[in-house]
Amino acid sequence: MQPDLELVTVRHDESFKAWYHGYPYRTVRWHFHPEYEIQLIVATTGKMFVGDHIGRFAPGNLVLMGPNLPHNWVSDVPEGEVIEQRNLVVQFGQDFVARCMESFPELRQAEALLASSRRGVSFGEHTSEIVKPLFFQLIDARGVRRIALFMSILAALMDARDIEYLASPAYQPDPTAFGATRISHALSFIGQNLASELRESDLAQLSGQSVSAFSRYFRRHTGMTFVQYVNRLRIDLACELLTDSELSVTDICFKAGFNTLSNFNQRFLLTKGMAPSEFRRNQRLNDASREASEAAAARGHGIDNAPSIVPAVPSLTHARAAPVARLSH
């Protein structure tokens, strides 16, 4: 059975995603994603599926999975029973890992572990007991403490000796083949056409489903309606443009795919709690504060001319698309 693609979203002000979910839950199905994942089971027993591996799990089950490795944990829970918190999850991208290793050469020691994660790495009770309190703290941590806790968890996994590889050595996940699933086609089309008019009926036709069937399938997969999903991606793109470009708010409105400035302002206010112009002012205030702090620190170390700060500008592929009018559903 082809795995479904899970869309992992990381907040623009965070480096990785740390969260938990219960059971049943929409991601409890045979699925994959391009991100690394560390998962710790804290409740229920059942069967785990990782690549071509099938085994049992219980509370304390701790697994590191590499990019695009299909997986699923199915709990032995009576029908109708709901578990509020079954597992803790950390998901982090390959680009994040690469940037960390470039900035901190010491982290290259993690390369062997991350390479092994393509098969799924299960850790024993000793390592699980070390990681568990760090994991619980990480879920609610903010700011620099998140980074410190993440690094502590990664260090514990690197030091572990109680490990077991799950998928067979010959198992090779094929994300190209996985990408042929209906929902993967739909999500890819949306991402490539954010600034265009997007109709749910057109996406349903692309997926070979009726509109009602596609709507149910899309919501089960993403946790939101088609309109909510598209609006969220467009707001995320607008935030990037407001932060990293000098475009006017009006230009950003249309580059992000909104058909009117009033609609854009309304959606942005509902999502971010402030107008786009206020969001940009706050971001610039934050940048100015950082630059002033770094300049003051440089002067304190006897450097007369502090270096200018040139922020890295991410590739905004969506921003180059031609602006079109409206979202239909």
Residue at 288: amino acid letter: A
DSSP state of 317: G
pLDDT at 302: 44
Q: Which residues neighbour 169 within 8 Å (Cβ) at sequence distance 6 or greater? A: 119
Strand order in the sheet with 71-75: 4-5, 31-32, 71-75, 46-50, 53-57
pLDDT at 192: 85
Q: Tell which wins on pLDDT, 105 or 317.
A: 105
First CA to last CA across the chain, in angstroms? 30
Nearest to 312 by CA among 91, 8, 97, 99: 99
**CATH hierarchy code of domain 4-165:** 2.60.120.10
329 pLDDT above the threshold of 50: no
Mean of per-residue pLDDT scores for the chain: 85
Taking the CB of residue 150, how many other CB atoms lie within 10 A of it? 22
Structure tokens at 145: 């403490």
318 pLDDT above the threshold of 70: no
- Give residue-wise pLDDT tens across range 71-86: 999 999 998 999 999 9
pLDDT at 307: 39
Q: How far is CA 57 from CA 26, 33, 50, in A?
A: 19, 21, 12
pLDDT at 294: 59
SS3 content of the chain, % helix, strand, coil (to 5): 50, 15, 35
Q: Tell which wins on pLDDT, 99 or 312.
A: 99
- Give residue-wise pLDDT tens across range 189-211: 888 888 888 999 988 877 777 88
Q: Tell which wins on pLDDT, 306 or 195.
A: 195
CATH superfamily name and code, 181-277+317-328: Homeodomain-like (1.10.10.60)
Structure tokens at 1: 């059975």
Q: How far is CA 239 from CA 111, 263, 312, 316, in A?
A: 33, 16, 15, 11
pLDDT at 322: 38
Q: How far is CA 247 from CA 193, 204, 255, in A?
A: 20, 34, 10
Q: Where are the domains of the chain?
A: 4-165, 181-277+317-328
- Give residue-wise pLDDT tens across range 221-275: 777 899 999 998 899 889 889 988 889 999 999 999 999 999 999 999 998 889 9
